[in-house]
Amino acid sequence: MLNPNGVDESNILDSTNFDALGLNQSLVRALLEAGYTEPTPIQVQAIPKVIEGHDLLGIAQTGTGKTAAFSLPILHHLNAKQSESKARHPRALILAPTRELAIQIADSIKLYGSHIAFKQTSIFGGVGQNPQVAALKRGVDVIVATPGRLLDLVNQGLCHLGHIEYFVLDEADRMLDMGFIHDVKKIVAKLPRKRQTLFFSATMPKSVSALAGELLYKPVNVSVTAQATTVDRIDQSVIFTPQNHKLLQLVNLLSHDSVTSAIVFTRTKHRANRVSLALNKAGISSEPIHGNKSQGARQRALGAFKAGDIKALVATDIAARGIDVDAVSHVINFELPNVSEDYVHRIGRTARAGASGNAISLCAPDERAYLKSIEKLIKLSISVVKGIEVRDEDVPLPEPRGPRPPRRSNRPGGGRGFRGAKLSGEKGGRRKSDGQKQKPASAVGQKKRPAGSGNAGGRRRSQVPKTA
């Protein structure tokens, strides 16, 4: 029976441990060692059905545990029926939209499968193909790949997909957004018709459900949130601010102790570079991460962020898809996305693995239309909070046009960007023009308030509060 979210409630078991889902003991052991004590809702719903052999249509955002939901039953099957020939043919193919996500999935599979015998390799572009080809030649059971490079290797005759039994298409909506649909279809054409297909997407626009319709046979539907609604545990707010005040607002937000690690989103790669540079000048350690960065640079930035060596990652939408860091306290939209679904993806980077999180958007007057369509999509009004007051003389100079290298300054701290502004490195918060101390922007670190008690966290647009 389907509930209002389209979830088949007969899938939901009463049990709350991995044993009861029917998984092999070697997998359960690895999960316990990884500190997973209870399956997440999508795991409870999906794992038994995939073990039974059903196709699956999963509507799930990142952070819900969907990687384990598809990996565990596949590993269970691979283990139950081991490859007999030494020159193994790949039996499971997982397609992901970005290199980072592919690496992340492969790491998870390695963890979950630490007590079973299987071989896997990751295939993605931006690095030499030889090690990938060598791994394929040695024989693998599982391939985790991005579409472009995989298709390349298939077309060169270096990768054969004729024995695939399990096919996973992860983040299908993003695949389509990124223009991978043709590559995906060409890859699917190489797969055996008789296979089990698992299809995951955070949102289900028409194009995605059409693709699901083509790929899936009588799928079981599982969904962990209603379509395109944002994760409940995220406290969302918006600060209305002119575009040229945004850097100062951002620096102020990131200066608060409650912001332990943040992903800052920009719409363009160039802007990500500029914002990261400005943050570093302001004493806030950050790295940009986007598609123009080499794979090595992206992995280094991610590693530094995960290790807590830098406070902020400044990311474009595409690059952020593979970021799986549990402890992101804040997502800050330096610019609102012009594709509303991207907002859902962005804020899903916080509140992962059961934690709560904060998402703050800086909205310039010309972005109000984007905000409106986001609110329409997520079906709630985002709370408006007041940012700091900004003096004209503190406003950064306009950015130079075009992708020019940053200008050097002889001034200590390289102070080109913020004439005279007191920035984050300085303790004690920003000052108002009259010299009074400015209260921190109320958006930072707040938990949901009871209805009617304030301006943040309510499910309605609240008034901009008067500052003290």
> CB of 305: closest distance to ligand AMP in angstroms?
14
Other beta carbons within 10 Å of 108: 18
User: Does residue 2 interact with ligand AMP by CB under 6 A?
Assistant: no
Q: Which of 66, 99, 267, 274 binds ligand AMP (CB under 6 A)?
A: 66
Nearer to ligand AMP, 36 or 343 (CB): 36
Q: How far apart are the first and last CA of the chain?
A: 54
Q: Considering only residues 74-93, where is the footprint of ligand AMP by CB under 6 A?
A: none
Nearer to ligand AMP, 27 or 282 (CB): 27
User: How are beta strands 92-95 and 142-145 bridged, if at all?
Assistant: parallel
User: Does residue 58 interact with ligand AMP by CB under 6 A?
Assistant: no
Strand partners, 360: 237, 332
Query: Please, what sign has the CA dihedral across residues 262, 267, 269, 273?
Result: negative
User: Does residue 417 interact with ligand AMP by CB under 6 A?
Assistant: no
Instruction: Give the binding range for ligand AMP (CB under 6 A) out of 63-71, 122-130, 148-156, 202-210.
Output: 63-71
461: phi then psi, degrees, rounded to nearest 5: -75, 125
> CB of 99: closest distance to ligand AMP in angstroms?
15
User: Does residue 263 interact with ligand AMP by CB under 6 A?
Assistant: no
Find all residues with CB under 8 Å of 392, minimum gap 6, and list them.
none
User: Does residue 67 interact with ligand AMP by CB under 6 A?
Assistant: yes
Nearer to ligand AMP, 42 or 154 (CB): 42
Residue 117: half-sphere exposure toward Cβ, Cα within 13 Å: 8
User: How are beta strands 220-223 and 56-59 bridged, if at all?
Assistant: parallel
Instruction: Give the binding range for ligand AMP (CB under 6 A) out of 66-74, 136-144, 251-259, 262-270.
Output: 66-74
Please tell me the distance from the alpha carbon of residue 425 to that of residue 428, in angstroms, as a whole number: 9
Nearer to ligand AMP, 39 or 288 (CB): 39
Nearer to ligand AMP, 83 or 225 (CB): 225
Question: Which residue reads 């099957």 in tokens?
Answer: 77
Nearer to ligand AMP, 36 or 166 (CB): 36
Q: Considering only residues 159-218, where is the footprint of ligand AMP by CB under 6 A?
A: none
User: Does residue 348 interact with ligand AMP by CB under 6 A?
Assistant: no
Instruction: Report, in this order, helix, strand and coil percent for the chain, each rounded to 5.
Output: 35, 15, 50
Please tell me the distance from the alpha carbon of residue 284 to that of residue 291, in angstroms, as a whole number: 23
User: Does residue 324 interact with ligand AMP by CB under 6 A?
Assistant: yes
Sheet containing 330-333, strands listed edge to edge, beginning at the edge strand earlier in sequence: 286-289, 312-315, 262-265, 330-333, 357-363, 234-240, 383-385
Nearer to ligand AMP, 67 or 146 (CB): 67
Please tell me the distance from the alpha carbon of residue 450 to that of residue 66, in angstroms, as a whole number: 31
User: Does residue 68 interact with ligand AMP by CB under 6 A?
Assistant: yes
407: phi then psi, degrees, rounded to nearest 5: -75, 150
> CB of 103: closest distance to ligand AMP in angstroms?
12
Question: Which residue reads 């980072």 in tokens?
Answer: 100
Instruction: Give the binding range for ligand AMP (CB under 6 A) out of 64-72, 398-406, 423-431, 458-466.
Output: 64-72
Please tell me the distance from the alpha carbon of residue 333 to that of residue 224, in angstroms, as a whole number: 25
Nearer to ligand AMP, 322 or 458 (CB): 322
Q: Name the token pair of 134.
A: 């060598």
Instruction: Give the binding range for ligand AMP (CB under 6 A) out of 48-56, 59-67, 250-258, 365-373.
Output: 59-67
Q: Which of 288, 282, 273 is nearest to 251 (CA)?
A: 282
Ramachandran bin of 445, using left for φ above 0, alpha for ψ from -120 to 50, beta for the remaining angles:
left
Q: Which of 149, 346, 352, 448 binds ligand AMP (CB under 6 A)?
A: 352
User: Does residue 63 interact with ligand AMP by CB under 6 A?
Assistant: yes
> CB of 102: closest distance to ligand AMP in angstroms?
13
Nearer to ligand AMP, 324 or 367 (CB): 324
Nearer to ligand AMP, 231 or 360 (CB): 231
User: Does residue 349 interact with ligand AMP by CB under 6 A?
Assistant: no
Question: Which residue reads 């390695």 in tokens?
Answer: 110
Q: Which of 344, 384, 390 is nearest to 360 (CA)?
A: 384
Q: Which of 2, 80, 353, 451 binds ligand AMP (CB under 6 A)?
A: 353
Length of the chain (residues): 468
Q: Considering only residues 31-50, where is the footprint of ligand AMP by CB under 6 A?
A: 36, 38-40, 43
Q: Name the token pair of 348.
A: 């899903």
Instruction: Give the binding range for ligand AMP (CB under 6 A) out of 60-68, 90-98, 175-183, 293-301.
Output: 60-68
Instruction: Give the binding range for ligand AMP (CB under 6 A) out of 56-64, 91-99, 188-196, 409-417.
Output: 56-64
User: Does residue 321 interact with ligand AMP by CB under 6 A?
Assistant: no
Q: Which residues bind ligand AMP (CB under 6 A)?
A: 36, 38-40, 43, 62-68, 324, 326, 352-353
